[in-house]
Amino acid sequence: MALVIEDRDLHAAHITEEELRLEIAILLYQQGRFSMGQASRLAGMNRILFLRELGNREIPVNYDVEDFEEDLETLGIKFD
User: Which tens digits make up the pLDDT trace of 8-63?
Assistant: 999 999 999 999 999 999 999 999 999 888 999 999 999 899 999 999 999 999 87
Helix (H, G, I), strand (E, B) or coil at 3: coil
| Global confidence as pTM | 0.77
CA 35 to chain CA centroid, Å, is 7
Helix (H, G, I), strand (E, B) or coil at 79: coil
Tell me if 10 sits within 8 A of 16, measured CB to CB.
yes
Q: Give residues with Cβ within 8 angstroms of 51, minimum separation 6.
A: 36, 61
